[in-house]
Structure 1
Amino acid sequence: MEEDTDNSETPKAKDVNMELEEILQLIADLDRKRALFNARGLELRTFAKRPPERFKAEENAEDASRSASATKSSRGQGHQLTVPYSVPRALAVPPSLGGDPVSPELAVSLRKILFGNVFHIFNYEWKKSFFKFREPYSVLSYALEAERGGARAIQMVVQANIIKYLLFSRKTNSDCYGMQSLEEVDEKEQERALASALADILWTAGDEQAATVALVTSECCFTPLLDYKPDNFTERLQLFSFARKEDTEKFIYEHIQCFKEEGSHGVILFLYSLILSRTINRLREDLDRTTTHLLQQSLGNFICRQALLNLLLTGRANPKVFNGTLLYDEDGHLLEHPLHGVLARSDVGYLHWSREQLEQGKLPVVGSMLKTPKLPIWVCSINDTYSIIFSPHRSLLSDWKMEHLFHLYFYNGQSTQTSTAVLTIDTHSHHWELEKRDVQGDPEKRFPSVEMTIRTKWEGAAIDWNGTVPFF
């Protein structure tokens, strides 16, 4: 007997048709949203402040619109739909605040010094990044929370400068000192620490003579050029220049929500401020032929080049980690173009270790300018992730006896870390390799990456995690 296939498949067909109708309706809705952009294609006229939980939903909508665009392209309709990740109006400053609007020429220069072209824009991972503290009065109240991604390097350098402020710079009437002072931080002190850290970095980049702070305004400052891809953000920058560090810090503190609130694009704003404080012309002088821009693509994301890390740490975007300028190659021949390394010690240091680079024989040797900073705080690049090690004792860098046996504190910025790890460093009792000789298996268990990073500064040190399972 022949089955009635038409009747049996009708419900499924109806379901499919309903799903197609819903998809087409979604595409139509996105088309209508796109039409709501103003004539310059940059500002959503019906934009209203959204709750934080909607930010990721908007990115999902953007992904959906890309898929819809791909579907429409197959039908001969090639335009792309986009729903921008916009800054809430509450975090946009009014044009009446003053400052100078970004020019189209400067916007192009910012793109080129960051990406090497005018067509790349920051992705969602960058746009959602801001400076988020852990809970006030907690054991990690001093700490920023940093997700894994390209912006993490910037967040962790700022974290190092927050620790610098809380341990060594701030004036306080509290009886707390050392590590205890990091556990007594309220929300206002968190904000002051962040403002101080950001201002310090910007002021250093401006050769301690000037700084520029970039905020986003509610209005577009220029009509994008045909060969420039707008991002609904850079085109609305308002620039504020300062000739005194105190004024820079005060202004940042007064607008700290523009850097610490969800949706603020806080890390990007700070990065723009950093570039503008250094100036495009000085950045070009800092760089060499090996590095022409500050970000590079890696696994679908944009990550910070060493030049950007050095800019954050030292105020100069020199691309190399060795001391000084290299004029000759390994054979003593004059280089056609000098290679630019680090010229002076900074407050915060830098250590670098990578298992992959070590195995390939390409592990760079960090010079003493970065290894031995003015304060015992180091940003660590460990297998291309960023962490902080520090000591509350200034004398660690000035009293050689202190280096026999001491504590270092380790924080990696991840939400899974619930307390600061305490590592005991012993540089004299016995060589570390004797402990590990008979251990088999995973190289990370035999030679933890954090320990290997620390040994680039204290060679041969034995390291005790004091009951904590090693991590990075």
Structure 2
Amino acid sequence: MGDREAEHTLPRTELEEIASKISDLNKWREIFSFRGLEISNSTHQPGRGSAGDGPPGDGDPTGPQPPLLPAAIPKPLLVPPGTGGRPISLEMAMRLRKLLFGNVSHIFSCEWAQAYFRFCEPYSDLAYALEAEKGGTRTILMAVQAHIIKYLLFVRNTEYTHLERLRRTSRQEQGEALAAALADTLWAAGGGGRATISLLAPALHLMPSGAYKPDNFTERIQLFEFSEKAAAQEFIFDHINCFKGEGSHGVILFLYSLLFSRTLERVQEDLDSTATPLLNVSFGNITCTQAVISLLLTGRASPCQLDSGQEPACGGEVWQQRGPVGYLRWDGAQVERQPAPPDMLSPLSQVCHGLRTPRLPVWLCSLSGRHGVLFGTDSRLLSDWKTERVFHLYFYNGQREQTKTAHLTIDTHSHPWEEDPCEDPSSLGKRRPPVEMAIRTKWAGATVSWNGTDPFF
């Protein structure tokens, strides 16, 4: 009788032990989640570790795999106490909110709060590329993407500057490229002498009052100031998961860093003391104004820095310097209102010469309000006129639908507009992809071949 009871009680004891272990595991999950870490059930595969030590296929993929190594656990999303910096004040938070939205009661949407710098898979066709959903954050993501491409192709030490080299980008190199891109942009906003980096601390620094509406992350901002670009870049890389980790609010943190690097006072001066906010809010959608694009590309939050057609309004103070990253724009609706021959585009469709002709062939493109990146792999393209006869460019728009980089061939000695002089020239912009029309704002009359790819914006 006793043996039978033992047979029935033994499984129950084992179940209780298993339940106890599961309960302990859940407790640890809560602790890791609170600390900004995560527990993963995935296994570590050779060549696919977090550091990107080798391309896919290294090692034996069919053999038994070791458990996830402790070193592969993501870094915290929050800076621990004692890291340094200074906490944001209520006055700073209110001024920041007014610059962005025009009032202190408006907060970012869930789309913005959830946005961070997320790369595609390393060692893939888009290993260099950031994923960017449709929405207002895409402007910032694609502007940073342009700087990432600039770094991977032309800045880091490499003897290869072609598309295949971008496809071989490892996870480690993704983090390095993002740190360099963010540091470059912040340093330019700081006038080449300073950068301020905003990170999240675990505790709230201020108590909201009056009309100020808390959002649970602005109140936890910790500011870190640097007077050397290398030190700022190293600090960003050491805390890279604070920008590229899920739940990090990475895009907003970068936007805050950009404004504090420029200083809130100088941003207001850039806006010419107007009350126009930096972000447009319409039916719940939050989008970037031209002032934000100008800040991302030139270091100044002045829309007239971009437009060649606004020279008189800006007192002739237009961005004529050739920066490392350029800007091209095409707005089909604009052309509809003011039709002009595509080889003599209205100044409203163009940006200033310094941004159409950057030092390196990388452009942020605004295409009827949507953004992508156009780039070449030949650093001589904009410095040697002989390379501009027939050449290759590549286009990436950040959307998940694009699974490989579009390859375009540009011929500047063909003139399709002369084929049918009776055709309404403004209709060509309606039938051709906006990216082609943006290219023609730089190379008037050029033909664009998509090399077998279906054209898209």
Instruction: Name the TM tier (shorter chain).
Output: 0.7 to 0.9
1:437 and 1:388, CA in 2 relative to 1: closer, same or farther beyond 3 A?
A: farther
Distance of aligned partners of 1:467 and 1:128 in 2 relative to their CA distance in 1, 3 Å threshold: same
Structure 2: tracts of 5 or more residues without a match: 1-32, 41-73, 339-345
Report the Cα distance in structure 2 between the residues aligned to 1:50 and 1:111, rounded to whole angstroms: 29
Distance in 1 separating the partners of 2:39 and 2:271: 38
CA 1:185/1:191 → structure 2, altered by over 3 Å: closer, same or farther?
Answer: same
Match of 1:265 among 249, 257, 264: 249
CA offsets 1:55-93 (integer angstroms, 9 cap, x no match): xxxxxxxxxxxxxxxxxxxxxxxxxxxxxxxxx994111
Task: Indicate yes or no: 2:324 matched with 1:347.
Answer: yes
Q: 2:405 aligns with which of 420, 424, 429?
A: 420
The aligned residue for residue 336 of structure 2 is 359
Moved more, 267-276 or 222-231: 222-231
2:222 corresponding residue in structure 1: 238
Q: Is the 8 A contact 2:281 2:287 kept in 1?
A: yes
DSSP-derived class of the 2:223 partner = strand
Residues 199-242 of structure 1 deviation map (CA, whole Å, 9 limit, x = unaligned): 00001110110100000111000111212111111010000000
Structure 1 match to 2:456: 471
Q: Structure 1 pair 230/313, CA: closer, same or farther in 2 (3 Å)? A: same
With structure 1 as the length reference, what TM-score do the two structures score? Answer: 0.76
Unaligned runs of 5+ in 1: 1-45, 54-87, 329-336
Q: CA RMSD in A?
A: 2.7
Task: Say which of 301, 305, 310 aligns to 2:289.
Answer: 305
Q: Give a deviation string over 1:68-119, Cα, whole Å, max 9, x none.
A: xxxxxxxxxxxxxxxxxxxx99411123211100000100111011111111
1:337-416 aligned within 5 A: 341-342=318-319, 344-361=321-338, 363-416=348-401
1:52·1:262 contact (CA, 8 Å) conserved in 2? no
Query: TM-score if structure 2 supplies the norm length?
Result: 0.78
Check whether the contact 2:429–2:437 (CA below 8 A) recurs between aligned residues. no
The percentage of counterpart residues that share the same residue type is: 53
In the aligned structure 1, how far is the partner of 2:197 from the partner of 2:155? 22
Structure 1 match to 2:270: 286
Shift of 1:247: 0.5
Q: CA deviation at 1:193?
A: 0.3
Aligned partner of 1:21 in structure 2 is none
Distance 1:118 1:436 in 2: 55
Q: 1:207 to 1:322 in 2, by over 3 A?
A: same
Letter in 2 for 1:287: L
Q: CA deviation digits over 1:272-318, x for unaligned, max 9?
A: 00000000111122122667321112342111111110110011111
Q: What is the letter of the counterpart of residue 350 of structure 1?
A: Y
Please say if residues 156 and 388 of structure 1, whose CA atoms lie closer than 8 Å, have aligned partners that are also in contact.
yes
Deviation at residue 344 of structure 1 after TM alignment: 2.7
Shift of 1:345: 2.5
2:165 to 158, 161, 181: 181
**SS of residue paired to 1:393:** coil
Question: Are the aligned partners of 2:127 and 2:167 in contact in 1 as well (CA < 8 Å)?
Answer: yes
Counterparts of 1:435-454 in structure 2, within 5 Å, are: 446-454=431-439
Query: SS in structure 1 opposite 2:213?
Result: coil
Offset, 1:181: 1.2
- 1:94 aligned residue (76, 80, 96): 80
SS of equivalent to 2:107: coil
Q: How many residues align?
A: 381
Q: Is the 8 A contact 1:99 1:241 kept in 2?
A: yes
Structure 2: distance between partners of 1:206 and 1:237? 19
Provide the C-alpha distance between the structure 2 equivalents of 1:164 and 1:147, rounded to a whole number of angstroms: 22
1:15-414 matches, within 5 Å, as 90-172=76-158, 176-288=160-272, 292-320=276-304, 321-323=306-308, 326-327=311-312, 341-342=318-319, 344-361=321-338, 363-414=348-399
